[in-house]
């Protein structure tokens, strides 16, 4: 166990996607894991929110969808991610949080990486029961006064996730790229599971048994 966490902290590029429903704790884990890997955490939700806050045309367009719990159209999202991945810091790898979320986005990511002569190393799925994530999202909304997280919108976001994004896990699984961990538990405990799972993705054989697949 102790070496599996150390063994993921290599200098070699790591190109990883974090998958999981809203409220599963992806954002928290993304920051911790990206720091561990020495790669940028790229969150499409954060980029959209920054654009909303800055009142950019992209933000104005994205907000309509975000407020309704719907996905921003693929064309808009894909263009934004392709531009972001072309920035220098992503050449050494990345941890994508909240992208891809549709099969069209999976295809765009594959194509962007292939044209850069590289590929995904793996997909880490963080799972959590619907009841748990609804409660977490509603608590977070109450704490942060987030108007985009009414119960109706929260339920719609989970519905959209189930319809459009949950199937991506099976697709990545059939490519041998997927490891799943349970996102329910204390942050440190989930991080331990996530690091073990990452080790098994990046260095097969190093931590597979400790990954605690769901």
Residues 120 and 115: their CA atoms lie apart, in Å, by 12
- Mark residues 170-209: x for contact with ligand AMP by CB under 6 A, - for none: ----------------------------------------
* Contacting residue, 157, 158, 196, 197, with ligand AMP by CB under 6 A: 157
| 92/140 with CB nearer ligand AMP | 140
The CA-CA-CA angle for residues 42, 37, 15, to 5°, reads 55
Beta bridge partners of 95: 16, 41
Assess contact for 52 and 159: CB atoms under 8 A: no
Residues 17 and 94: their CA atoms lie apart, in Å, by 8
Residues 117 and 102: their CA atoms lie apart, in Å, by 23
Residues 66 and 83: their CA atoms lie apart, in Å, by 21
Residue 63 a catalytic site member: no
Q: Which residue from 18, 183, 178 is spatially nearest to 99, judged by alpha carbons?
A: 18
Assess contact for 44 and 80: CB atoms under 8 A: yes
* Contacting residue, 8, 18, 48, 211, with ligand AMP by CB under 6 A: 48
| 77/180 with CB nearer ligand AMP | 77
Among 84, 92, 140, 156, the active-site one is 140
- Decide: is 161 part of the binding site for ligand AMP (CB under 6 A): no
The alpha carbons of the chain give a radius of gyration, in whole angstroms, of 17
How many residues bind to ligand AMP according to rule CB under 6 A? 14
Residue 84 a catalytic site member: no
Give me 95's structure tokens. Answer: 């941890």
Beta bridge partners of 125: 19, 180
108: how many CB neighbours lie within 10 A of its CB? 20
- Decide: is 45 part of the binding site for ligand AMP (CB under 6 A): yes
- Decide: is 72 part of the binding site for ligand AMP (CB under 6 A): yes
- Mark residues 75-114: x for contact with ligand AMP by CB under 6 A, - for none: --x--------------------xx-x---x---------
CB of 142 to ligand AMP, least distance (A): 17
* Contacting residue, 22, 25, 40, 93, with ligand AMP by CB under 6 A: 22
| Positions that interact with ligand AMP (CB under 6 A) | 22, 44-45, 48, 65-66, 71-72, 77, 98-99, 101, 105, 157
Enzyme catalytic residues: 26, 101, 140, 146, 157
């Amino acid at each position: 166990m102790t070496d599996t966490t150390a063994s993921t902290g290599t200098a070699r590029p790591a190109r990883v996607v974090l998958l999981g429903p809203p409220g599963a704790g992806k954002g928290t884990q993304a920051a911790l894991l990206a720091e561990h890997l020495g790669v940028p955490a790229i969150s499409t939700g954060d980029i959209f929110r920054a654009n909303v806050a800055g009142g950019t045309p992209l933000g104005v367009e994205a907000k309509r969808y975000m407020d309704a719990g719907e996905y921003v159209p693929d064309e808009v999202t894909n263009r934004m991610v392709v531009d972001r991945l072309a920035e220098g810091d992503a050449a050494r790898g990345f941890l994508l949080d909240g992208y891809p979320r549709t099969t069209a986005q999976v295809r765009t990511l594959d194509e962007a990486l292939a044209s850069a002569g590289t590929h995904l190393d793996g997909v880490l799925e963080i799972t959590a029961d619907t009841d748990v994530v609804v409660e977490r999202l509603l608590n977070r909304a109450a704490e942060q006064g987030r108007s985009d997280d009414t119960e109706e919108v929260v339920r719609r976001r989970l519905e959209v996730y189930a319809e459009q994004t949950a199937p991506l896990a099976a697709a990545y699984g059939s490519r041998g790229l997927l490891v799943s961990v349970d996102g329910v538990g204390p942050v440190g405990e989930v991080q331990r599971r996530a690091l073990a799972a990452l080790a098994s993705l990046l260095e097969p054989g190093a931590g597979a048994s400790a990954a605690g697949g769901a």
